[in-house]
Amino acid sequence: MVISVKRLFRTGMIIGITTGIFLSFISLTWASTRQSKIDPFPTYPSIAPNVAFWTDIFTRYSRSQGVIHDTRNLGRIYEVIALDPSQTNTAAKKNKKTKKRILEQYEKILLSLATGRPPATSKEKQTAKLFGNKATPKDFKQAARRLRCQTGLSQEFKEGLIRSGAVIEQFKQIFQSHNLPTDLAYLPCVESSFDFTAYSKFGAAGIWQFTRGTGRKYMKIGYVVDQRRDPYISTQAAARHLKINHEKLGSWPLAITAYNHGVNGMLRAQKQKGNYEKIFNTYHGPSFKFASRNFYSEFIAARQVAKNYEYYFGDLSFQEPVQFTRFTTKGYLPAKALTQGLNLEIKTIQTMNPSLRTPVFTGRKHIPKGFELRLPKRITHKTITRVITDQYQARQKPSKFHLVRKGDTASYIARTHTVSLNDLIMANGLSRRATIYIGQNLRIPVQGEVVPTKSSRTKASSKTSSIPKTTSSLPLADNAGKEAKPVSKEPIINLEIVISDLKIRKTITQSNQMVGIIQVAPEETLGHYADWLQIPTQKIRALNQFAYGKHISINQKIQIPLAQKDKDRFEELRYEYHKEMEEDFFASFSIDGVDTYEIKNGDTIWFLCLNKLEIPLWLLQKYNPVMNLNKLQPKARIKYPIINNRLGIKI
């Protein structure tokens, strides 16, 4: 058989090309696998400007600087403005006005450029230059809607890194135990700056900022114990949550974004666009806004800074890990007995056991049975057992409240529940005249409770003239016996008191089943009712003939199945849920006045709370108790509080 040289050469070329392609494929696959093993968190070219932006925010700019930038193109920075770094209300107001003025100035410049008029002033020329020679009027018009000011965070980030020293190695071990990348331990740099007391306006708590709904999948969250605040338990929860995200979405960029945006939201985005880069560049979901789009970029920047802190901040003196003695309680234990028996300060127990809520330390509740206490390492199990064995209680203290009805007086309520009138007034932040209003839920003090002479939350909010100061030990006025007043459009706001109707309004018998009728209060879901009754949610849906996925609205009447023993327990847990939510909020935020907003066409109560007013619905209801929040009328004016965080910085 004769084979021509030409044919042989051609065959050789084909074999060579095929071999080359195969080797290239193997090489790329190996490189990709190797890269994946080296770094499961890729920095895509499209997010590089965002990563650089956040790196500068975390390291270069302080709270005395505000960066005016484009929300889609973070590499486009218009100006860095000076802010007042003082952590005061005055500085916060001043900075808010400064930011608003500068943003409006650039909006005006961009809209002027959008008309096609050549730039005239130096600032207009500088702005136009950022867009290049090929910019169109449409580009300028779109940019006018994408202006934002980001305050520098270098000091906060640095302080967070220092705090992280107490826990970061243990966090890495937790992630490793779940076969997850250990660098996920740096995510709290973005979420909370490792502030163990962090709490958001909408109820996310702890360094991992778990919402109540997500947190309950992995942790205990209630009036006595909130494990979201425990750094070690919440990190175990974060590892489990992130692992599920990754299993569902298939990549860490998507899984981390889902930590902010929600896994279902990211599944919808993935179905529409595919991979992370396409989502980042082209996805415009209704709730996929600035925070969600930038979350992964922030993580990449934070991780880079944290791992190379010396380059950015020099040498840091990190907090040292704390060594504990761990002890599990065998009964319900008064915190006072523990502190006195072991000669410890209450603050020590609180710091070492952050998941125990304030009612435990004021005597309203006991440390629960089966709780794993953390105590100073020097204290032995033998000593703890000797001190507390005789102090155990058989049951937890109940939470009692009284729904104020027409004809009630403070004196009558105190007598009914066999508590002193003075304690009732103190516990509820009432004025010296003990004025009460129909629909208020007054907390009934329990035996052994230390009722403060002054409320910390009222103190934090004392600048709001409509909020009454807590009474001192001055003698009570005669009208402590006057009947409760009806709620009006101008109620006195008492931040100590839950105002929703939390009682079961009535019970009926239906098909040999006791049924309770309740009115939906803000922040409640069918899942809450099912949880408090320890029944499946579907049982409540079936009773009310609700289709799956149907949402309930505030003030709606709902039927719930009841056993006789359920009624008091349901009401107690319901009250504790609302009381916990409000107590936690006012421990972190204060009220610095009241403003009004005029309702516009298309406004809904949820949109207003989340996007415009940025306050929880239950708080908005306090300031508008007689307004139907389900049916907002255009042109109507709604009152809302101006909120400051506990450091006095406007949020």
Model pLDDT for residues 613-635, shown as the tens digit of each residue: 999 999 999 999 888 888 899 99
Distance CA(504)–CA(27), nearest Å, equals 69
More confident residue, 432 or 239: 239
Distance CA(630)–CA(359), nearest Å, equals 34
The answer to whether the CB of 405 falls within 8 A of the CB of 438 is yes
pLDDT tops 60 at residue 11: no
Mean pLDDT, rounded, for 286-305: 96
Report the pLDDT value the prediction gives residue 19, as an integer from 0 to 100.
41
pLDDT tops 90 at residue 431: no
pLDDT tops 90 at residue 161: yes
513-519/147-151 β-pairing: unpaired
What is the tens place of the pLDDT at every residue in 135-150? 999 999 999 999 999 9
The CATH code for residues 400-481 is: 3.10.350.10
Report the pLDDT value the prediction gives residue 460, as an integer from 0 to 100.
40
Distance CA(298)–CA(585), nearest Å, equals 26
pLDDT tops 70 at residue 475: no
Report the pLDDT value the prediction gives residue 17, as an integer from 0 to 100.
37
Report the pLDDT value the prediction gives residue 649, as an integer from 0 to 100.
39
Report the pLDDT value the prediction gives residue 479, as an integer from 0 to 100.
58
What is the tens place of the pLDDT at every residue in 174-212? 999 999 999 999 999 999 999 999 999 999 999 999 999
Distance CA(17)–CA(425), nearest Å, equals 88
What is the tens place of the pLDDT at every residue in 84-124? 999 887 888 899 999 999 999 999 999 999 999 999 999 99
pLDDT above 70: percentage of residues in the chain: 89
Count the Cβ atoms, other than its own, within 10 Å of residue 505: 10
Mean pLDDT, rounded, for 49-72: 98
Chain centroid to Cα 378, Å, comes to 36
More confident residue, 535 or 12: 535
What value does the mean pLDDT of the chain take?
A: 89
| Nearest CA among 549, 419, 542, 421 for reference residue 473 | 421
Report the pLDDT value the prediction gives residue 482, as an integer from 0 to 100.
85
Report the pLDDT value the prediction gives residue 489, as an integer from 0 to 100.
67
Q: Where are the alpha helices (DSSP H) in 308-393?
A: 309-313, 335-342, 346-352, 358-361, 381-388
pLDDT tops 50 at residue 28: no
Report the pLDDT value the prediction gives residue 29, as an integer from 0 to 100.
38
The CATH code for residues 162-313 is: 1.10.530.10
- Counting Cα atoms < 13 Å in the Cβ hemisphere of 424 gives 26
Task: Give 495's pLDDT tier (boundaries 50, 70, 90).
Answer: confident
Q: Where are the alpha helices (DSSP H) in 39-153?
A: 48-59, 89-114, 122-129, 137-144
Distance CA(153)–CA(457), nearest Å, equals 28
More confident residue, 433 or 233: 233
Mean pLDDT, rounded, for 457-478: 41
5-19, 165-179, 488-502, 529-543: the lowest-pLDDT one: 5-19
Count the Cβ atoms, other than its own, within 10 Å of residue 410: 25
pLDDT tops 70 at residue 287: yes
Mean pLDDT, rounded, for 457-469: 39
Q: Which residues contact 188 (CB under 8 A, 6 or more apart)?
A: 160, 164, 194, 207, 208
Task: Give 540's pLDDT tier (boundaries 50, 70, 90).
Answer: very high
Distance CA(560)–CA(522), nearest Å, equals 17
Task: Give 313's pLDDT tier (boundaries 50, 70, 90).
Answer: very high
Chain centroid to Cα 291, Å, comes to 13
pLDDT tops 70 at residue 14: no
Collapsed DSSP state (helix, strand, coil) of residue 286: coil
Question: 279 phi and psi, to 5 degrees?
Answer: -65, -45
pTM of the model: 0.87
| Nearest CA among 648, 586, 645, 614 for reference residue 192 | 645
Mean pLDDT, rounded, for 20-33: 38
Report the pLDDT value the prediction gives residue 37, as an integer from 0 to 100.
60
| Nearest CA among 340, 446, 466 for reference residue 391 | 340
